Amino acid sequence: MQALGIRLIAVLHWLRALVYIAGGLAILGVTHLSSRMISAVANDTPLDRLTSGVGNTIAIGALVFALFWIVLGVGVWTTKNWARVLTLVFAGLWLLFGLMKVAHFPTPWHLLRVAVDAAIIVYLLLPDVKREFGATT
């Protein structure tokens, strides 16, 4: 049976994926709406094409990130070592950015983010958890 911490990390990855999905779909909707509004004033303007192109690119990027977080969550849930390693890398990056945010603008949200990322790193480096993922070192 899996440890509760492993399940919580996988669920956290899936929640991040949901945020990226919601953001990507919202950006697609806003891009479509703004493109319609611009084209109502003038057809096929460079601004219309730029707005549509940039918005679609950002939205598709967000949806690709969502897919990444879904796959990573499945990897953690099924205790794949590659998922543990990637989670450590990304938790480390999030921790670094979180510490920079706390240094410049400490809020409860940033402090919670730093605490969660630090807890994930410490938890995934525990010998029992590493063994459950099949890590050799």
* Per-residue pLDDT tens over the stretch 73-107: 999 999 999 999 999 999 999 999 999 999 998 89
The beta-carbon contacts of 53-61 under 8 Å, at least 24 apart in sequence, are 55/27, 55/28, 55/30, 55/31, 56/28, 56/31, 58/27, 59/24, 59/25, 59/27, 59/28, 59/31, 60/24, 61/24
pLDDT band for position 3 (cuts 50, 70, 90) = confident
How far is residue 113 from each of residues 42, 49, 78, 120, measured CA to CA in Å?
45, 38, 25, 11
Structure tokens at 78: 């099924």
How far is residue 71 from each of residues 67, 113, 123, measured CA to CA in Å?
6, 22, 20
The predicted model scores a pTM of 0.83
State the sign of the Cα–Cα–Cα–Cα dihedral 104, 106, 109, 111: positive
Residue 15's closest CA among 125, 116, 133, 93? 116
Angle formed by the axes of helices 4-41 and 46-77, nearest 10°: 170
pLDDT digits (tens, 9 = 90+) for 52-64: 778 888 989 999 9
Percent over 70 (pLDDT), the chain: 91
